[in-house]
Amino acid sequence: MSPRLLYFCVERGYLERQALLLAESVKIFGGNASPTILAVSPRPDHRPTKDTISALRVYGCEYIEIELSKQIGQYPVANKAFVGAWLEEQFANHHIVFIDTDTVVLQDIGEQDIWHARQVTIKPADLAFTANSIDGAGELRLYWDRLYGRFNIHPTWSTRTSADCVLTRPYFNTGVISTPAHLGVFRQWVNILESMFSEGLEAPGRQRHVTDQIAFSLYLSARPELYRELAIRHNYPLPLHHRLPEHQRVTSLSSVGILHYHKVMATPGRWASMVGGFAPSPATNFLNFHAER
């Protein structure tokens, strides 16, 4: 079995608060046999404070500062792909998992079903409004067709979104990505992202923020043999809890491995309005303690 590594990005500001919550959750719920946990700061002018760095280390994370040789200006979301590509080179024999900083780990990370030796494990997107749906609907259909032509991709398979249950051309949520480093997945993701931005092909208007997901989906669309579906409980979309179909919706957060809370924990009253929908558990107690702090 390959050595295991899990990473997330941390920067000064709101990402610091998220990173500390994530790191604490790993310390409490992540298990004694957790993989190496890396908190990576990718930009010199956005380093976290010394107090944050010390706290991350207390929670068991290895803090790493790197200076990316390339970045995509005004789109810092892409840094998670650039960091992953850097880690692939440094830890070529490892299995690498990326998780967004606005997540918490609620089960033993080493025991979660995210460590497949030969494939890329990732969850389909939650909603279809930025996807290329099979029925031809969606405001970005022509944009997707342009991208398929540019990258010479002819997808012959599909995925189904987790919340609105729409059948689409392959489209994924990049909040949790698991892959063997030797596949070079993050490097290929970076290559597509760089091409898209240099050629003005980023997602248009208010959808620009999902360009990273679109780029990753383009990569995996052409490689169906690499795809392994990540169960929703390993990237559970908290804001969409009430919109999920019944077979996807959990009643207790103790059954969730990785909770993707997005802005819920920072939005006044949002978590308080949701907590009653979950059975009491150590996970809900943890989130109760940290909500809106």
CATH assignment at residue 109: 3.90.550.10
Count of structural domains within the chain? 1
Is the pLDDT reported for residue 167 higher than 80? yes
Is the pLDDT reported for residue 137 higher than 80? no
Q: Among 108, 30, 20, which Cα is nearest to 58's?
A: 20
Is the pLDDT reported for residue 199 higher than 80? yes
Backbone dihedral region of 133: left (phi > 0), alpha (psi from -120 to 50 degrees) or beta? beta
Judged by average pLDDT, the poorest of 21-25, 129-133, 224-228 is 129-133
In terms of C-beta density within 10 A (0-12 exposed, 13-18 middle, 19 or more buried), how is residue 81 classed? buried
pTM: 0.96
Is the pLDDT reported for residue 293 higher than 90? no
**What domain range is 81 assigned to?**
4-290
User: What is the residue-averaged pLDDT of the chain?
Assistant: 94
**Parallel, antiparallel, or unpaired: how do β-strands 258-260 and 236-237 relate?**
parallel
Q: Who wins on pLDDT, 104 or 206?
A: 104
pLDDT class of 135 with cuts at 50, 70, 90: confident
Q: Who wins on pLDDT, 254 or 292?
A: 254
Average pLDDT over residues 51-76: 91
Average pLDDT over residues 5-22: 97
Q: What is the DSSP letter of 33?
A: T
What backbone torsions phi and psi does residue 52 show, to the nearest 5 degrees? Answer: -65, -45
Question: Are 71 and 108 in contact, with CB atoms under 8 Å apart?
Answer: no
What backbone torsions phi and psi does residue 228 show, to the nearest 5 degrees? Answer: -135, 125
Is the pLDDT reported for residue 211 higher than 90? yes
- Tens of pLDDT along 67-102? 887 778 789 999 999 999 999 999 999 999 999 999
Question: Which amino acid, one-letter code, is at 256?
Answer: V
Is the pLDDT reported for residue 105 higher than 70? yes
Non-local (6+) Cβ contacts of 204 within 8 A are: 140, 143
Helix axis angle, 185-198 to 211-221, nearest 10°: 120
> Residues of 126-136 as b/e, b for ≥16 C-beta within 10 angstroms?
bbbebbbbeee
Is the pLDDT reported for residue 245 higher than 80? yes
State residue 201's pLDDT score.
Answer: 96
Q: Among 212, 246, 247, which Cα is nearest to 98's?
A: 212
Average pLDDT over residues 111-117: 88
State residue 197's pLDDT score.
Answer: 95
Instruction: Compute CA distances 281 → 102, 167, 285, 290, whole Å.
Output: 20, 34, 6, 15
State residue 133's pLDDT score.
Answer: 86
| Measured CA angle at 245 (ends 143, 229), to 5 deg | 60
Q: Dig out the tokens for 114 from the structure.
A: 């995210």
How far is residue 267's CA from residue 271's CA, in Å, rounded to a whole number?
8
State residue 47's pLDDT score.
Answer: 97
Question: Which amino acid, one-letter code, is at 28?
Answer: I
Element containing residue 273 per DSSP (H, E): helix 270-274
Question: Which amino acid, one-letter code, is at 229?
Answer: E
Q: Which residue has the tokens 């959808």?
A: 207
Judged by average pLDDT, the poorest of 126-140, 255-269, 271-285 is 126-140
> Looking at beta carbons, which pairs linking 20-25 to residues 24 or more positions away fall under 8 Å?
20/52, 20/55, 20/56, 20/59, 21/104, 21/265, 21/290, 22/99, 22/101, 22/103, 22/104, 22/105, 23/55, 23/56, 23/59, 23/60, 23/61, 24/59, 25/104, 25/105, 25/106, 25/286
Element containing residue 191 per DSSP (H, E): helix 185-198
